[in-house]
Amino acid sequence: MLLGKLLPMRVLAICHQRDAGPGIFADAIAAVGGELEQWFRAETDVPPADPASYDAVISFGGSMHADQEDEHGWLAAEKALLRQLLERGMPLLGVCLGAQLLSEAAGGDAHPAREPEIGWFEVEVTEEGAEDPLIGPLAPRFEAFDWHHYECGLPAHATVLARTPVCAQAFRVGEAAWGIQFHAEVSVADLEAWIDEYRDDADRDRAGPDPETLRGTTMPRMNAWNDLGRALCGRFLAAVARPGAAAPATFRPPSTPSSSSP
């Protein structure tokens, strides 16, 4: 079955900053004739359309942390929205910060990891992940680009699909919602901006790699990494838009989600 036959499909991208948006996921959506609309959540409370009217919603990353609701008041509203979309069975994909917000919306939390992961890390696919439509083709392991200080404290009903020794790198909630901690979406241009900012503010990340070393080890890998990202996004679209398939099972999170860790 050709993926192009699954669409047209409208996808909402929830973006938290200008250099952390859909990246190469936009290529995958455009390749199958999909319509992508971006909502810069930190800049406006008004989405381009009712989020529930889309065929899928993807929440992306950002330099803010999931528990910084006092500094970024819209975080609480986005968690509430993701919870509502989960309850409706909306196909969802969370990336890095977006994955952490999805974890909270599902009844888990997000908290500081025991150490940051910035750069390239070997990720092991779990037995459950090997059977998953998004992560399965990456089994038994793959090298991923990460940039995070927090991790997802997953609810008991989430399925861990991939992990590093530090934390879960991919999970699924119900049948139509996934979170990935790694940055499968990042474009070369956005990553260059991240490294430039990191270089200029290196004191905050003393545990991380040297910025120029990071640039040198990363850029030669980006073509292959972007191919992996486009394919992963394509599998997400296919998994949630198969014609004739039964509607995704509705997931209902626990009535009282746990709060973020300080």
Domains of the chain: 8-186+223-240 (3.40.50.880)
Strand partners for 124: 141, 163
pLDDT of residue 243: 52
For residue 207, the model assigns a pLDDT of 64
Q: Give the pLDDT band (50/70/90) at residue 245.
A: very low
Residue with tokens 């079955």: 1
Q: CA 61, CA 182: separation in Å to the nearest integer?
A: 10
- Which of 69, 202, 150, 113 is closest to 194 using CA atoms? 202
Q: How do residues 106-163 score in pLDDT, each as one tens digit?
A: 999 999 999 999 999 999 999 999 999 999 999 999 999 999 999 999 999 999 999 9
pLDDT per residue over 62-105, tens digit each?
Answer: 999 999 999 999 999 999 999 999 999 999 999 999 999 999 99
Structure tokens, 162: 């991939």
**Angle 188-200/211-218 helices, nearest 10 degrees?**
160
Nearest to 22 by CA among 70, 93, 120: 93
Across-strand partners of 111? 151
Q: What is the CA radius of gyration of the chain?
A: 17
Per-residue pLDDT of 149-175, as tens digits, reads: 999 999 999 999 999 999 999 999 999
Q: Which residues pair with 174 in a beta bridge?
A: none
Strand partners, 146: 119
Tokens of 167: 């934390």
